[in-house]
Structure 1
């Protein structure tokens, strides 16, 4: 069995094509100075037979605590030694050893760093087996995934322009930031040009329950609002339950549910109607599926999202989500928000992505560009 002999880490400041702001802070903008703390971390695994697996995850400390520096340190000093001499098929053993070395407290421990390596393991394993990643996970149900447009916090003119340019998308995810007047104006503006398509509101923890009720009272006339995602702080599961009691709209949990155990707790507390599945916060592909299975067992519907993925993680998400029944189109916004991707082989037509079928992730990674743009981070 082909064993892993080398693990390489490449933090890269990936350029944005348009400004994107969440309720918890800015993600990127075309004119932004490259920020090491929000870089994308690519990893490359090489086996003794020369088979390569690629992984990727974005560092976004305004969304979760990991930075590019911590991810690089954790991978190089703690996780890479665990991987050496394992095979790409030893995914569960890798996670078991990772949890022993970097013990989780309440939820996942360093899930973004682990997810980057998990994706690379699956890529290499698929190549060794000669099958696409979705076949390793049980096979795809869908050949294509429609995508949801992600519209950041902004003034009415900016969000109208974005919505009009995203007319091919079959749903709109609307970021709101906690300002009642500005958020009301943004929601009403997008509803005017959305042509009846569903609106998926995402507060990214920027509201209190009472203020959210006021916002939804103001926008009650908009009948296409499908749900509200993570309106309150991620640590306050009881506030999520309070929101469900106050508002007449399905409530989705995201930052408050990183693992299947997190979701089981939220279900027990009646704190969510839907859950957002992300490979990054889950720590990898199979862990994301564990969350999805927990949701289905608990009567909670599924939403799918990423974290402005740059091609490698985008492809991985397609493999995972291709076997799930989603309540709304997947919000995988990398192709929409970034200048370009770091892979070839993805096929997206009219905001519908085709699930790759070549071995591994099914994409060709631009290694030369990644190496050329790699940042030299301190303490790594």
Structure 2
């Protein structure tokens, strides 16, 4: 079986087409690029697998420097003993080398590698990634527009530009009056389409009650995601008992084990599934199975992926019944993707069917834009 012979890491400052701000901080603006780590695996047969992961320490603890160092110094030595099909063995050995504590150990770094393993394995087998996972149940994945924290005029303009999307995810930042004005502005354009509120840990329970009171009567509000800090599962449970709106957990649940604790506490109605926080595609599927067994609905999301991660999410979500269109916002928010062969029409993405991830990576651009990290 073809062994991995080389692991290359490319940090790239990826430009944004528009300003995107979460309740936990700025992700990027046209003047402020976000760092993404691209991973390239090469096998002894010359097959190449690609992975990627965004560094967003305001959302999770991993930085571009730590992701690069972990892959180069800790994960590469493991990979050079394996084939691209050894996904579970890779994670088992990574667990021993980078032991998880409360949650997964360096999940973003591992997710980038995991995606590359699946890409290479699919190419070696001549199969798309979804076939390696058991096969897709749908050919397309509808997308949700992601609207950042901002003034009502700005979010209204964004919503108008995204009027063809079947749903809207609106970031809220912890100020009930400002957030109510922004959500109302989006709702005026949405015309009853689903609106998914995402607080990114920025709310206290009492303040959220004030916000929801101000939004009473606004059509289409489907749920509120991660209103309280990720470590406050008891607060999430208490808040769920205080409001009528369904509550989704995101930053508070990275792994299947995390979600089992959420279920035990009866602290959420939905869980947000992301490959990055799960540590990879297979681990994300494990979380999804815990959710389904526990009666929780699943929401699909990413972290402003640049094409490689976007394609990986399409393969994953093609197997799942999502409660709302997936929030995979890279094509909407970035100035350009780093892949070709993605088919997105009227906010609906077609699941790739070519071997591996099914996209063509712009390696020349990645190499040209790669930057040095002083700590890597």
Shorter-chain TM range is: over 0.9
2:25 alignment partner in structure 1 = 25
- Does 2:109 match 1:113? yes
In 2, Cα distance between equivalents of 1:270 and 1:214? 23
Cα distance, 1:221 vs. partner?
1.1
Unaligned runs of 5+ in 2: none
Q: Distance between the aligned counterparts of 2:4 and 2:351, measured in 1?
A: 27
Aligned to 2:7: 7
SS of match in other structure, 1:10: strand
Paired with 2:117 and 2:239, the residues of 1 have a C-alpha distance of 39
What root-mean-square deviation, in Å, do the aligned CA atoms of Structure 1 and Structure 2 show? Answer: 0.6
| Residue of structure 1 aligned with 2:298, choices 280, 299, 302 | 302
2:187 maps to 1:191: yes
Choose the corresponding residue for 1:277, options 259, 273, 277.
273
**Which secondary structure state, in structure 1, belongs to the residue aligned with residue 91 of structure 2?**
helix
Superposed CA offset, 1:171-194 (max 9, x none): 000000001111010011111110
Identify the residue that residue 207 of structure 2 maps to in structure 1.
Answer: 211
Instruction: Name the CA distance, whole Å, in 2 between partners of 1:308 and 1:28.
Output: 10
Within-5 A mapping of 1:124-273: 124-273=120-269
Q: Which TM-score applies when normalising by structure 2?
A: 0.99
Aligned equivalents of 2:300, 2:224: Cα separation in 1: 14
1:53 and 2:55 aligned: no
Distance in 1, Cα, partners of 2:59 & 2:288 = 21
Which 5+ residue runs of structure 1 have no aligned equivalent? Answer: none
Structure 1 match to 2:373: 377
Provide Cα deviations, 1:52-86, integer angstroms capped at 9, x if missing partner: 00000100000000010000000000000000020
User: Would you identify which runs of 4 or more consecutive aligned residues in structure 1 move more than 6 Å?
Assistant: none
Q: Which residue of the partner structure matches residue 291 of structure 1?
A: 287
Name the CA distance, whole Å, in 2 between partners of 1:243 and 1:301: 18
Which of 347, 362, 366 is matched with 1:366 structurally? 362
How far 1:160 sits from its partner (Å)? 0.3
Q: What is the aligned length?
A: 376
What TM-score does the superposition give when structure 1 sets the normalisation length?
0.98
The worse-fitting range, judged by mean Cα deviation, of 212-221 and 127-136 is: 212-221
